[in-house]
Structure 1
């Protein structure tokens, strides 16, 4: 059965309510985050101005759908790469109490993320202000990346954080299948493609496992 496309702000809110049953405080935090995001967008270009009228579809529900694809990983660390405006990291952190590490190298972005964390008092979120290459290796139960890097580079940089049970959640827009097809076969078999709930032409690569040198085609 084809899933309903979340093509309006009302449908996005209804879907979040039905899928995650947020508490009144969580709803308040989501609303407040949306306000902070719009206000900060006047200072730095966090999101395209054209997406603001559809912010709950394009950014809030778009981020939340990744959590819906990863309900199995319990309390493990969620590593969000290139967090930027906190999408999906802040949205996931509001809806779920798992430890969250937001990796972002740009100073202004990190300042905004810390301001949001302080304003919402979500203490299970850490902002790591550094390029991914300089971050100490740690095991992540989930790795997400929204518009971080081309797929081959993304996985090459982040595979050292993965384990055999790591869940990979990689929104790749319209190029998901094309990017996946360019990878070695063992790598391809780790992933399947999920249709985005917020864009009929966008897809998400979902995988489970650890990618070692053999899977990367290295010797």
Structure 2
């Protein structure tokens, strides 16, 4: 993703970018539309997304999630989405690709929503894990994403055991991305670079490739 790309400033621009970037089939467009509708409807029952973001849903949530896939289109393998909540970014990625997706979410009501979406939209490549990350069996992840999971140092410490030398980390961290990165041990910092978000001029994404080992975590 080029830092010179324009910020997506409207719902129409977000849809146009998704079309130009991923060329979804008519079926996949229909699934995206249905997911968006389910997300809005369920947000009336539980706090999935802020009410203020509903008028800009395609910018703030759909394209915002899809841009992570655009940063990781050169690979396949398991995508591990931490703290998936309403399926952002995990379900959007799953709707635009065939990547095997594991959504990790500890809250039952949110998992109930995720299961409803996966069932209705027929997404057999999506697995939902209703448990804290600490209780999940280790497996190698090709990609690790987390949109709103934990402070950066804690996020990496908890998820390091899922990483390999080729794991891609995709971590939206808002306007504090550079500050959070600067607080990490130097060995961690060296794995990452910063990408500008396409959906918010004040937000950035930490993109990294590599394995966080005990040595890199400052442990014996």
- Pairwise TM-score range, normalised by the shorter structure: over 0.9
Q: Which residue of 2 aligns with 1:25?
A: 27
TM-score by length of 1: 0.99
Matches within 5 A, 1:66-85: 66-74=68-76, 76-85=77-86
SS across alignment from 2:123: coil
Q: Secondary structure at the match of 2:67?
A: helix
Partners of 2:64 and 2:203 lie apart in 1 by: 11
Alignment pair present for 1:37 and 2:6: no
Cα deviation code 1:51-103 (max 9, x no counterpart): 000000000000000000001112x0000000001000000000000110000
Alpha-carbon distance in 2 for matches of 1:58, 1:125: 23
Q: State the shift of 1:173 in Å.
A: 0.3
2:128 pairs with 1:127: yes
Secondary structure of the structure 2 residue equivalent to 1:3:
coil
Equivalences for 1:68-147 in 2 at 5 Å?
68-74=70-76, 76-147=77-148
3-state SS of 1:80 partner: strand
Instruction: Give distance in 2, aligned partners of 1:171 and 1:66.
Output: 9
Runs of 5+ consecutive residues of structure 2 not aligned to the other structure: none
Q: State how far apart, in whole Å, the 1-side matches of 2:212 and 2:203 are.
A: 24
Q: 2:51 aligns with which of 49, 53, 66?
A: 49
In the comparison of the two structures, how many residue pairs are matched? 218
Q: 1:217 offset after TM fit, Å?
A: 1.6
Give the Cα–Cα distance (whole angstroms) in 2 for the partners of residues 43 and 164 of structure 1: 41
How far the C-alpha of 1:214 sits from its partner, in A, is 1.3
Structure 2 distance, partners of 1:54, 1:25, is: 23
Distance 2:56 2:81 in 1: 23
Which stretches in structure 1 are left out of the alignment for 5+ residues?
Answer: none
Number of the residue aligned with 2:63: 61
1:214 paired residue number: 215
Off by >2 Å, runs of 4+ in structure 1: none
